[in-house]
Chain A
């Protein structure tokens, strides 16, 4: 079975600064996907970024990038130029190849201060 660990329950960052959210996971699988999802107060789960385990290159999406360390089973999210709209709960999640079930971490509450 897979486990996803987010050890930081909450973080705060000043607007326009950079923040990194940590995630580690444990699996015996070799082929899988990792995700960061954002959940604002509206409850809607929004995909922030995805990383395929077979890709060595770290994924980037505009202000969001990841540091994927497969051997260390680490998958951190960096948010650059933080905006007030980034305030939300962020979940790290694992999906086994061709399984489609997601295993989530406990989540981290990110607050962006004006």
Chain B
């Protein structure tokens, strides 16, 4: 199993600003994932964070809006840039420990 610490747990931000979410895992993992959960909706994969290479983004998500860092095998950050109210969501970090996926507790972001 893997224990994931994600912070902040929640934040209220002004539109046009950026927020960086951190994800720390208690063991080394190859792949880390970032998901978005819009209000009352399901989880949608934003990108896969690969250590030592660029993140791989899913359709509809771009690096300029959601830059990701992965400096080592236990840590990743997701930045939500130039925020608008439509970015108000829960953002979740996940790691794969095949064949399971473990999740952080999520960051509830509200953009005003």
Contact = CB atoms under 8 A, between A and B. Distances in A.
A101 B45 contact: yes
A46 B50 CA distance: 24
A33 B92 CA distance: 21
Interface residues of B, number: 22
A102 B45 contact: yes
Nearest to A47: B100
7 contacts: A47-B100, A47-B102, A52-B99, A91-B43, A100-B96, A106-B41, A107-B42
Interface of A: 33, 35, 42-45, 47, 50, 52, 91, 95, 98, 100-107
B101 A102 contact: yes
A31 to B, nearest CB: 10
Interface stretch (B16-24, B70-78, B103-111): B103-111
Nearest to A52: B99
B31 interface: yes
B106 A43 contact: yes
B94 interface: yes
A52 B100 CA distance: 11
B42 A100 contact: no
Interface string B53-94: 000000000000000000000000000000000000010101
Contact of A43 (B44, B101, B105): B105
Nearest to A32: B99
B85 to A, nearest CB: 20
A49 B99 CA distance: 12
Nearest to A46: B103
Contacts of A104: 42-44
A22 B96 CA distance: 25
B11 to A, nearest CB: 14
